[in-house]
Amino acid sequence: MAARDASIDTIQRELTAFARRARHKASQLHPELSLVTYSMLDLMYERGGCRAADLAAHFLLDKSTVSRQVGALEKLGLVDRETDPEDHRGQILRPSEAGLLLLREAYEMRRRSFTERFTGWSDEDLADLARHLVRYGEAD
């Protein structure tokens, strides 16, 4: 059992360090962009647009928190609002042209970083890591 506990401690430490690096990288993309706001923008793109309530549910955040984050994205010109065609009272949030450009730049920066980081890894090692990350994420 001690080996299992040590492994869990290592995983916790490494995932915490990973999250810190991710926050730092987000701040490098735009000085006023947090990891949370970047992640929201990314989810809007991934889903082809979404409502603020969808963001709150996905990130397990209060609607007022999402409202502030979306407001910050709008102030930066990174998000556009459109009337929801299925419910004219609601709005769909989508990345603006500037938001899409930022996401493309971020994707390329992350891709280069991962490519460099995994230079010495075999294809099998990469496939194993990918499989384990998916498995870990599916637990939610």
Is 15 contained in some domain?
yes
Contact 70, 52 (CB under 8 A): yes
Is 125 contained in some domain?
no
Q: Identify the CATH number of the domain in which residue 90 sits.
A: 1.10.10.10
* Average pLDDT of the residues of the chain: 91
pLDDT at 133 over 80: yes
Considering the chain, what percentage of its residues have pLDDT values greater than 90? 69
Distance (Å, whole) CA 44 – CA 38:
10
Is 119 contained in some domain?
no
Among candidate residues 68, 71, 67, 87, the one with its CA nearest the CA of residue 79 = 71
Is 108 contained in some domain?
no
Is 87 contained in some domain?
yes
Half-sphere CA count of 78, side-chain side, radius 13 A: 24
Considering the chain, what percentage of its residues have pLDDT values greater than 70? 100
**Residue span of the structural domain in which 15 resides:** 2-102
The dihedral sign for the CA sequence 73, 78, 79, 80: positive
Distance (Å, whole) CA 125 – CA 50:
35
Number of domains in the chain: 1
Is 86 contained in some domain?
yes
Question: What is the pLDDT confidence band of residue 53, given thresholds at 50, 70 and 90?
Answer: very high
- pLDDT tens-digit series, residues 87-104: 888 899 999 999 999 999
pLDDT at 45 over 80: yes
pLDDT at 119 over 80: yes
Q: Is 64 exposed, middle or buried (0-12, 13-18, 19+ CB in 10 A)?
A: exposed
Q: What pLDDT is stored for residue 127 in this prediction?
A: 95
Is 139 contained in some domain?
no
- pLDDT tens-digit series, residues 24-39: 777 777 777 888 888 9
Is 90 contained in some domain?
yes
pTM for the whole thing? 0.80
